[in-house]
Chains A and B, each alone.
Chain A
Amino acid sequence: MPVPDALEFFIDPGRCIGCQACIQACTECDTHKGQSMIQLDYVDRAHSTQTVPVVCLHCDSPTCAEVCPADAIKRTEDGIVQTARKPRCIACNNCVLACPFGVPKMQTKMNLMMKCDMCYDRTSVGLKPWCASVCPSQALAFGTREEMARLRPQAKPVNTFRFGLQTIRTKVNIMVPRDASSDIVDVTAAMHEPTIGHEILDDVFLGVPDGGDA
């Protein structure tokens, strides 16, 4: 049974309080074999408590599946990119390295790539995924677009991302300020921000001008 079209997933990193409830809840999902599929990223741990929960964004053209040499990663009719098929996965790690969002996780004990499948056993019957069920600030939310528009009048959902020359459209939406000028989240542009990852990337991208406090 496919996930209902009307129900969508919304990520709002600005609401994340870093409580890790989603990480714990994720392990409870029947399709996750006790593993947590969520990564909670610290944006700049030395200077900020800001965290960003990362679930799979279920790309229209999933890079993980594109690079899979064993044809193990499949997307179901509702656009959910599933965990690698166990009989096919050769645990080569290609998908782990290729995913622009860093979602797939290699379970070396099982020799199997596992990834967020939006709690397929739950969402396919109309329930919320575990993370969205437990998230106290609803940084991870699952519902209809109308609900989102009503509850969060200051934000709008965006589902297009840009990494350099690659544009990615996803099934999952990310919430941005309503008055944002662009409907595209330019992810790599953030690498040139003065604070975020500044210490490392200054050495890597030599052409980048000095930023801020250096």
Chain B
Amino acid sequence: MIQSQRGVEGPRDLDHGTVPPDGRPLADQPKWRQDFPIDWAQDEYVSRRELVKFMVLTSGALAAGQLWIVLKSLFRQSPASAVGTPIARVDELVVGGAKTFTYPEGSTPRLLVRTGAATFVAYDQQCTHLLCPVVPAFEVGRLHCPCHNGWFDLETGRPVAGPPQRALPRVLLQVRNGTVYATGVEDSKT
């Protein structure tokens, strides 16, 4: 009998939102009543505490992500090997000549340039700006990216003009018995 007190007009139904004073269903109510619900859950009100919690957690996640990237780059194994992969014969290229190759297998295209009688350089062919392929400009000692007129130094791979900010990743080379071997890749440095 005591319990029935509450049930005079049916149980409280807060799950379905605000009960308007006239008791009619929400569909029959003016739109402003749906736009301004009284119940906290329907209002999507963000309290200061919720906002602070959100910001702390997202900042923490961001910091953890940065730390993860740092640790990953510190412990990254270089694919360098003493033997290396043969990529070209010395007599295949004239001085100033170039050739593309992949190292390691399945990588993005790399660019091998013969800069002297016994000197070779090799870089990743993707420009560090927006990944356009760079082409050698041997007569000025540079690599040129034609997309946005970016220039890299042929000897070091460092950017010298245009939009690129980072150096081209360098492929380490060895020349043995008339064959050029790729032995590893250096990370891009600014």
Contact = CB atoms under 8 A, between A and B. Distances in A.
Interface of A: 60-63, 65-66, 71, 73-77, 79, 82, 85, 145, 149, 156-160, 166, 169, 171, 173, 183
Given A61-B20, A66-B21, A160-B8, A76 B2 contact: no
Contacts of B38: 62, 65-66, 73-75
Contact of A74 (B2, B6, B21, B45): B45
A77 B21 contact: no
Contact of A145 (B3, B8, B40, B43): B3
Contacts, number: 52
B49 interface: no
The 9 A-B pairs with the shortest beta carbon distances in the complex, nearest first, are A65-B38, A74-B40, A71-B36, A61-B21, A76-B40, A75-B39, A61-B19, A75-B38, A149-B2
Given A75-B18, A157-B2, A159-B5, 17 more contacts: A61-B19, A61-B20, A63-B21, A66-B38, A71-B36, A74-B45, A75-B14, A76-B39, A77-B40, A77-B41, A79-B14, A149-B2, A156-B2, A157-B5, A169-B8, A169-B9, A171-B12
Interface string B1-44: 01101101100101000111100000000000000101111010
Contacts of A75: 14, 18, 38-40
A143 to B, nearest CB: 13
15 contacts: A61-B18, A61-B20, A61-B21, A66-B21, A74-B38, A75-B38, A75-B39, A75-B40, A76-B39, A77-B41, A82-B40, A149-B2, A159-B5, A171-B12, A173-B5
B5 A158 contact: yes
Contact of B39 (A74, A158, A166): A74
Interface of B: 2-3, 5-6, 8-9, 12, 14, 18-21, 36, 38-41, 43, 45
Contacts of B21: 61, 63, 66, 166
Contacts of B18: 61, 75
Contacts of B45: 74, 85
Nearest to B8: A160
A77 B39 contact: yes
A61 B19 CA distance: 6
A28 B5 CA distance: 33
B20 A79 contact: no
Contacts of A66: 21, 38
Contacts of A71: 36, 43
Contacts of A77: 14, 39-41
Contact of A183 (B5, B36, B43): B5
Nearest to B47: A85
Nearest to A64: B38
B176 to A, nearest CB: 73
A49 to B, nearest CB: 30
Contacts of A157: 2, 5
A92 to B, nearest CB: 15
A156 B6 CA distance: 12
